[in-house]
Structure 1
């Protein structure tokens, strides 16, 4: 075995060892803990980039590369199997980028707002790395629970009654999702006799007819657990408040948590219910499509109704989740490719927005949103019956406000999907796939539900632009009182870096789309994934 194959275990072991070591260091040694956590996260990012290059490094650019790593060298399906392909490598790299940005931002003050911040963050990274790499549903549950346990502590990090209340709601909802996860896994194991994903893909088409109803019930319950995490309407009412209550760096890394549910649904839908699986092919696709559209519509109205910026960012997360889930429900390779591009762009931009909100709020009065709404409704009494003859022409913007304003404008354009930024390229790629399925160029054959999704995607972008412009005018153009915020370089740098990465995605759009095209094609041709885990003698649809 080549030494590079052992890199698959690094995204799990590295944060686990780092988190355990940080527990042994006194909480008063903040600088040492921060440096160790930063070093570990940088190394994790380097590892993720190397794994991405390995996953994309097949001579000839094969779209079906995947490699497996059996822990302790047990044979599949009994081994703890880790599987690397383009999709898992992409998610690992995205997670590491967000973690590094959040960690740098937190060193300004948030890592000292409560105990064990760095330890919890490392354990969160361990759970995410395992969830993206595992090839087994039971181990997925283990990593899912590690991620949730760490997220509970991170959400409650800091103080305040609102944070505690939102945190308790978050914990209750996710405990219920974990219970559904266990029930679904148990039903699947009882009917199929295995929890290895590749082995399931082989066995599901041959499940006896009398067990099919129980199998479908298990899959539906398991899917519901991940739909709660992904934020599908009507299971998403907890998300805006929870993300709004979290500390800024915590909310930024939490953006990728909703993508765990999307990742698992995308992986399992195309692996277990692809065209080769017979009667169960496409199971749940319509639920994802209509549920995704319902989520977009709900979040669009929520976006327009939001006055608090944190809630606006929370509804932006829901729009992203709804768009991705609807794309998964369609299942077309070109739509999935655009959705993967959109996943990266929207995750980076919303994470930057959460951190930006923390800095922007320092330049505002606590009741600024309420006062602004009141003035819109009833007007400003100070302007009635009085003429201001000597009005000041132009407003001098201090450097900090200028940087924050430019960053806010970039985030608004990205979320709205306006050209020429990465949000536009991602949405354009998705819409092209929807209106030209499989490149056949037959618009007359497009169902009405696809046209409805296209309209919702466009309208949600317009709503994001309106909501962000409204907030931007209140904050930067016509504030009730100008307050110059104190901003540190370590707080601005991560925001600028994430937005700059979105710019790079736009400039390198062709290369990124080539990668996502290959990833989507591999997901739609799961034989390589199955053979890398079980061996070349077990193509899909053949019973073991």
Structure 2
């Protein structure tokens, strides 16, 4: 239908209008604002589902489809162009689902902990939607800044010196990244004369050799800005503490923020420096590959060393980021397809983990992490008479229902982070490893480079480290706690966690459908002619061009 072409702008306009409208409602009317926010997020989920259906519709050249929307009826590359393909539609669906889960969890108490939570939440969604849809580097900067501005307020939402300190560090780091973004964009525009991504892809192969160094410098500076956001080592020092300090629903939605960096790097690397880029083909690929592997190794040691569950979740985010960056640097279509599946699974599981941490912590005595470390280091000095007294007691304690739910959820998260069957984490890692070790898809004995073996080993070892760290934490929390405390858990807190884990289970059961989708998305990314033609091919009055 004709009206469906305007759905491309809904993920930007809907959060913008909702967020502005929520400012007009008194802050004391928490329930009304939460319901309006939730209704907007549910509409966003429906819109994202429709956009995924549109992006996966009638195939164009090479089995790909790219739809562009020219705002204000200006032709590309002069217009503010929004571009929809399978990758951007997938990221919109991922963000909207995660937003519903985080918002429902926050309705227990966090949305009342500070002013304008719901407005900031909607503006964050607006920035994310624009970043995933925009086809222009300058507008990417605009939406990037909208996202960051909202994230500053959300990270500081609540109270506590630790949160304020981590929030100020987060703001300083991201302001520096924004400055680098502007410098990189300026260099590219000064040489290429355009910031439209599709137009850049057409012009870059023809850049004079004398000017190519400045283009590379601009691209490298721009890449550093997004590597800071993606969390690549050694630029990731800020992330575990910042995510640990954030409120649980804020940390859950922040999981997708690191994916913005990975998304942009994937988009620009294959569009501007892919196989069709001439002498510039492959620029930056080795940095992403080796940097991603270094990130996986760093985060693996971090997980093994972490005693606090918040830090454990933060390093899980880094392992996910490193895996995605290394897959982009490797540049293989099958590996990128598996990495996109992994992106969805790891985002859901890590977000569920952040929300689960708050509930699990209620069942632990204050300082339990420190006491557990002390006992492991110096031993348990329990008196023998006390042991005999406990031996005389009845063996076994009835586990309360809340602890049972939390324990099962914790076990599912552990399986997902470790990449063990039967959940979607196993399918994601298996798909990536299959693409690495069987690049031809036929099981041929082609020689596999050493860097590929190293990446495969790091992915497996990081899963083993996640399993060890989660088992240790689970035993200390659920099996042998220093003090048993029955937590008070509300339905709105448990429901989003169970919902995200159920989605991961559904991904395992229906993994073939998503893998078909991600494979088509990966093929389109590695053959960007359809993307370029969809943006520049024809004039398109305020609507869709194919």
TM-score, with length taken from structure 1: 0.97
**More deviation in 391-400 or 411-420?**
391-400
d(CA) in 2 for partners of 1:241, 1:184: 28
Say whether residues 1:477 and 2:482 are aligned partners.
no
d(CA) in 2 for partners of 1:293, 1:475: 31
C-alpha distance 393-226 of structure 1, shift in aligned 2 (>3 A) = same
Q: Is residue 48–residue 92 contact of structure 2 (8 Å, CA) maintained in 1?
A: yes
d(CA) in 2 for partners of 1:347, 1:443: 34
Q: Is residue 63–residue 519 contact of structure 1 (8 Å, CA) maintained in 2?
A: no
**More deviation in 52-61 or 316-325?**
52-61
Alignment-derived partner of residue 394 in structure 1: 396
> How far did residue 444 of structure 1 move?
4.5
With a CA cutoff of 8 Å and minimum separation of 6, indicate the structure with the bigger relative contact order: 2
> How far did residue 63 of structure 1 move?
2.8
> How far did residue 194 of structure 1 move?
0.3
Q: Is residue 60–residue 530 contact of structure 2 (8 Å, CA) maintained in 1?
A: no
Alignment-derived partner of residue 166 in structure 1: 166
Alignment-derived partner of residue 434 in structure 2: 432
> How far did residue 60 of structure 1 move?
9.0
> How far did residue 439 of structure 1 move?
2.1
Alignment-derived partner of residue 333 in structure 1: 333
* SS across alignment from 2:360: helix
d(CA) in 1 for partners of 2:240, 2:80: 36
Deviations 1:462-505 (A, max 9, x none): 00000001000011000000000000000000000000000000
Q: Is residue 83–residue 133 contact of structure 2 (8 Å, CA) maintained in 1?
A: yes
Alignment-derived partner of residue 532 in structure 1: 534
> How far did residue 460 of structure 1 move?
0.2
Segments ≥4 residues shifted beyond 4 Å = 59-62, 383-387
Alignment-derived partner of residue 318 in structure 1: 318
Say whether residues 1:349 and 2:364 are aligned partners.
no
Q: How many residues matched?
A: 537
> How far did residue 440 of structure 1 move?
5.0
Q: Is residue 184–residue 220 contact of structure 2 (8 Å, CA) maintained in 1?
A: yes
> How far did residue 441 of structure 1 move?
3.2
d(CA) in 2 for partners of 1:93, 1:396: 41
Alignment-derived partner of residue 457 in structure 1: 459
Alignment-derived partner of residue 543 in structure 2: none
Say whether residues 1:250 and 2:276 are aligned partners.
no
Alignment-derived partner of residue 87 in structure 1: 87
d(CA) in 2 for partners of 1:80, 1:364: 52
d(CA) in 2 for partners of 1:53, 1:83: 15
RMSD: 1.3
**More deviation in 330-339 or 528-537?**
528-537
C-alpha distance 383-465 of structure 1, shift in aligned 2 (>3 A) = farther
d(CA) in 2 for partners of 1:67, 1:49: 15
> How far did residue 39 of structure 1 move?
0.5
> How far did residue 57 of structure 1 move?
1.5
Q: Is residue 59–residue 65 contact of structure 2 (8 Å, CA) maintained in 1?
A: no
> How far did residue 394 of structure 1 move?
1.9
TM-score, with length taken from structure 2: 0.97
1:515 to 514, 517, 525: 517
Deviations 1:280-318 (A, max 9, x none): 001000000000000000000000000000000000000
Deviations 1:46-91 (A, max 9, x none): 0000100111121699631010000011000000000000000000
Deviations 1:115-134 (A, max 9, x none): 00000000000000000000
* SS across alignment from 2:27: coil
Which blocks of at least 5 consecutive residues in structure 2 are unaligned?
540-546
Which blocks of at least 5 consecutive residues in structure 1 are unaligned?
538-544
Deviations 1:437-463 (A, max 9, x none): 142534441111110100000000000
